[in-house]
A and B are shown apart, each in its own frame.
Chain A
Amino acid sequence: MSDFDAIVVGAGNAGSSAAIYMANKGLNVLLVDRADPPGAKNLSGGVLWGNDLAQILPKWQSEAPLERFINNKKLGFLTEKSSFMLDFKTQIFEENKVGYTVLRSKFDPWLAKKAKEAGALVIPGITVESLAIKDRKVIGIVESGDTITADVTLLAEGVNARLAIEAGLKRPLRDSDVSLGIKEIIKLSPQKIEDRFNLKNNSGVASEYILGFLGELNVGGFLYTNKDSISLGVVVPMENLRENGVTHSYDLIEMFKEHPSIAPLIEGGQVAEYGAHLIPEGGLEMMPKLYGNGYMILGDAAGFAFSNGLVLQGMNYAILSGIKAAETAVEAKLRNNFSEQSLSAYEEKLNSTYVLKDLKTFKDIRKVTNNPMMYNTYPKLLESIMLETLWERGQPKKKIRDVLSSCASNLNMGKIKTLKEFYYIYRRM
């Protein structure tokens, strides 16, 4: 007889969602987290798309500690002196309200509290030493030398999945698996935020940037509005930082902040918190086997995140994988069978959701998002096209066709090569 039906390691979006679902279905659940309060080690860029959360917490929009709902998405291409922005604002987001900025140190303790209210035993401040393994089956966890047993152990331990790696259930991370995210919380009054970003009624903006002014580095930037702060950060692929890095990683975010189109947005703001986190962007190549005798792997630990340059998502993948793992555990309990074969239903379930569908559809996306042209050439191309067409300098005007070809040739972009590359991106994006 096990101590628990299920042990969940990690009170992030994946772990707490799984714990809520299983406890609601009457399972005897232990949820442990190494931080106290639970979730205080967690960090995200900060936009939560909560569709899936409604499955376990129908009233999440009114109950959760949310910052601002997103009704405005922007995508920016920055060069040293210019910014080219795509700005999409819609009433449709306002009517549906599913994308919100969140601060994880507020949101995650709330989610863990919901697991407790559902009946799970939540113990924060526990760093699990290792997995308890007997006869090639995961039978629970080891903490302070004691073994706590469960029929099934859900590993939602985050991108640095030490337990899974040390037990040989997942290979160690490589450069190509991750990007380094560095973030600052910049305090500004709600009034200033609303004025500067043209917001009202708790609406917010989520902007992603391609930084085309950092030489050979492929750095993305983000800026999200919270109630009384800005979440601002940069994301750099580890392999690109190793190959082409010229300065400390922590300087990159400052260079982003100093850009002429960013500095005025955060002027007068105080940095209230600095942080960093790895983002699993390796997709299928980094995905471990998701289940085995007595265990399943969820969320960041499984490599569930998605980035295509336009969006950067992970929390929704975590929540949905948590729910699917929990469904699997509940069904396994009914069969009283927690074998590898029984838990294989987890992967089957994920196969029919966007979690694994997206990873498969976009298996080559890193070739686009890590394409050096995307960072060091295309922003400059946009800048020169705009200057050619919008800047009156007493020169004879050119047709668009001639503007494009002269701008492209100034950047040494051959016609055929450029078209081939656009087609390549178009096919994969």
Chain B
Amino acid sequence: MMDIKERLGTLKYDVDKEYAHITVDEKICEKCPHHFCVMACPAQCYTLQNGKLIFNYEDCVECGTCSIACDQGSVTWHYPKAGKGVIYKYG
């Protein structure tokens, strides 16, 4: 099985280092009963490390899955700023 990191490595990004287009509220995530975001996100942006939710927006493919997956009100979802984020070569 091809590692997800390797697959994400095929993607081109223009990462916005100054602005995270998605933010999570860690306090809410601490109490989350399911952490469904970890299973659902196709880009492994959400991981659990020692029971704590870690979020990285850099690999995001802007699909919107987490904005639905999170039913606890932790995820605030926006599009990246102009031209930033994932750039598909094939699409």
Contact = CB atoms under 8 A, between A and B. Distances in A.
A272 B90 contact: yes
Interface string A245-285: 10111110011001000000000000111111110000000
B52 interface: no
Interface residues of B, number: 38
B17 interface: no
A248 B83 CA distance: 29
Nearest to A159: B64
Contacts of B85: 41
Interface in A93-148: 103-108, 124-127
Interface in A219-240: 229, 238
B4 A173 contact: no
B61 interface: yes
Given A178-B68, A254-B1, A127 B11 contact: no
B81 A272 contact: no
B58 interface: no
B88 A273 contact: yes
Of A107, A241, A250, most B-chain CB atoms within 10 Å: A250
Interface string B23-38: 0000000000000101
Interface residues of A, number: 53
Contacts of A159: 64
A254 B5 CA distance: 13
A277 B61 CA distance: 8
Contacts of B43: 250, 276
B42 A126 contact: no
B15 interface: no
Of B8, B65, B80, most A-chain CB atoms within 10 Å: B65
B53 interface: no
Contacts of A310: none
A284 B73 CA distance: 26
B40 A249 contact: yes
Interface string A289-310: 0000000000000000000000
B2 A41 contact: no
Nearest to A231: B90
A40 B88 contact: yes
B58 to A, nearest CB: 15
Contacts of B7: 184, 250, 271, 274
B51 interface: no
A166 to B, nearest CB: 9
A185 B89 CA distance: 10
A175 to B, nearest CB: 6
Contacts of B4: 248, 250-251
B8 A238 contact: no
Contacts of A107: 91
Contacts of B8: 274
B86 interface: yes
B88 A247 contact: no
A401 interface: no
Contacts of B68: 173-175, 177-178, 238, 278
B12 to A, nearest CB: 9
B35 to A, nearest CB: 12
A126 B79 CA distance: 11
B83 A271 contact: no
Contacts of A126: 82
B42 A273 contact: no
Contacts of B88: 40-43, 104-105, 273, 275
Interface in B52-87: 61-65, 67-69, 77-83, 85-87
Contact of B40 (A42, A180, A254, A273): A180
Contacts of A35: 83, 87
A160 interface: yes
A242 B41 CA distance: 12
8 contacts: A40-B88, A107-B91, A124-B83, A127-B80, A180-B40, A249-B41, A251-B1, A276-B63
Q: Name the 4 nearest CB pairs between A and B, nearest first.
A: A104-B91, A105-B91, A276-B42, A125-B83
Interface of B: 1-2, 4, 6-8, 10-11, 36, 38-44, 61-65, 67-69, 77-83, 85-91
Interface of A: 34-36, 39-44, 103-108, 124-127, 159-160, 162, 172-175, 177-178, 180, 182, 184-185, 229, 238, 241-242, 245, 247-251, 254-255, 258, 271-278
Given A104-B88, A105-B91, 17 more contacts: A36-B82, A36-B83, A40-B87, A41-B86, A104-B91, A105-B88, A108-B91, A125-B83, A174-B68, A245-B36, A245-B40, A248-B4, A248-B38, A271-B6, A271-B10, A276-B61, A276-B65
